[in-house]
């Protein structure tokens, strides 16, 4: 895998099929409908549960706005990921071009995905710091996914910082 | 010296307050009244915006969010980020409730664990 800045985009070249597949899973991972733990984390309460009125108003007015914001970010990422579907050879390495104008959407969608996965699998601090976990189960794969998405977030953040200079 | 705070529109948070300051210069002199305006925000400061630690959000990402949402310089944003990291939480801002709620909404938009709490 090769990563470089090309004009106003971040290009990830020589992306192998396994990592490409993990990237394709960002939108679904970001919005898991069947994980209450993930939903709870993505839409966390704004204050203590005793503040019932504020919590109720938050659910009514703020959560739908947040949901729209998150969906919009995920949709942008989904469209960028279309590039990974147009390869002629099924197992060939491919290139993903992330326009820097979409950087915020990518940061948001990657964060949604990481938080949702981590909430679903309840990873411990120890697990999150262990990068040597073998990929033996769905849980291991999900941990790898969280770390790989975090790596991508770091790259995007670094490019955004470079762009400011 | 006597100071009177008169809130002209009690219950309206956006209303401005009139601050009347009565200055007594001497026993036989008439007091002069100095009038100055203060926003209700300056008078009412009861809510904290708190960000809580979570092991997933990246430190660099959290710093960037603090810079964006609160307009803090990098050093201050990093100081708060490290406070969250080491102490589990940091008070990012204090002030009126509406603005605190707005900040928390923005922080939730960036997926940080943020809450508002009454001061004291």
Residue B66: which pLDDT band, with cuts at 50, 70 and 90?
very high
> Using a CB-CB distance cutoff of 8 angstroms, which residues of chain B are in contact with residue A123?
55
| Prediction pTM value | 0.81
Q: Tell which residue, A25, A45, A31, A57, has the closest CA to residue A152.
A: A25
Evaluate if residue B105 carries a pLDDT over 50: yes
**Cβ distance of A112 and B117 shorter than 8 Å:** no
Domains of chain B listed by start with CATH number: 2-40 (no CATH), 47-118 (3.30.1390.10)
Tally of CB atoms within 10 A around A73:
23
**Cβ distance of B56 and A46 shorter than 8 Å:** no
Q: How many CB pairs under 8 A join A and B?
A: 59
**What does pLDDT average to over chain B?**
76
On whether any CB of chain B is under 8 Å from the CB of A38, the answer is no
Its domain, for residue A120, covers 2-157
Tally of domains in chain A: 1
- Of A130-139, A154-163, B26-35, the range with the lowest mean pLDDT is B26-35
Q: Name the residue facing A111 among B111, B115, B116 (closest C-beta).
A: B111
Q: Which value does ipTM take for this structure?
A: 0.91
Cα separation, A13 vs A4, whole angstroms: 8
Cα B62 to Cα B74, B78, B85: the distances in Å are 11, 8, 10
> Using a CB-CB distance cutoff of 8 angstroms, which residues of chain A are in contact with residue B111?
42, 108, 111-112, 115
Any domain includes A108: yes
Q: Name the residue facing B56 among A43, A69, A115 (closest C-beta).
A: A115
Any domain includes A165: no
Whole-number pLDDT of residue A147: 93
pLDDT tens, position by position, A23-82: 999 999 998 888 999 999 999 999 988 889 999 999 999 999 999 999 999 999 999 999
């Amino acid at each position: 895998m090769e990563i470089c800045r090309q004009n106003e985009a971040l290009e990830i070249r020589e992306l192998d099929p396994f990592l490409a597949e993990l990237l394709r899973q960002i939108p679904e991972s970001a919005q898991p409908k069947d994980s209450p733990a993930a939903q709870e984390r993505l839409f966390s309460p704004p204050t203590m549960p005793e503040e019932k009125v504020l919590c109720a108003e938050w659910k009514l007015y703020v959560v739908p706005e947040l949901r729209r914001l998150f969906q919009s970010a995920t949709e942008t990422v989904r469209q960028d990921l279309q590039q990974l579907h147009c390869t002629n050879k099924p197992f060939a390495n491919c290139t993903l071009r992330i326009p820097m104008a979409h950087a915020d959407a990518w940061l948001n969608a990657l964060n949604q995905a990481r938080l949702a996965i981590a909430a679903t699998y309840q990873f411990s601090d120890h697990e999150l710091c262990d990068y040597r976990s073998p990929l033996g189960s769905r849980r291991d794969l999900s941990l790898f996914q969280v770390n790989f998405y975090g790596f991508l977030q770091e790259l995007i953040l670094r490019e955004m910082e470079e762009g400011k200079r | 010296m006597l100071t009177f705070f008169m809130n002209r529109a009690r219950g309206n948070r956006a209303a401005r307050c009139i601050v009347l300051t009565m200055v007594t210069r001497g026993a036989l002199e008439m007091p002069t009244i100095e009038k100055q305006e203060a926003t209700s925000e300056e008078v009412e400061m009861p809510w904290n915006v708190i960000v809580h630690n979570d092991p997933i959000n990246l430190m660099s990402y959290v710093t960037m969010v603090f810079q964006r949402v609160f307009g803090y310089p990098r050093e201050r944003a990093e100081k708060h980020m490290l406070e969250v990291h080491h102490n589990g939480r940091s008070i990012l801002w204090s002030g009126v409730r509406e603005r605190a709620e707005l900040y928390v909404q923005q922080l939730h938009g960036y997926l940080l664990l943020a809450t508002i709490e009454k001061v004291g």
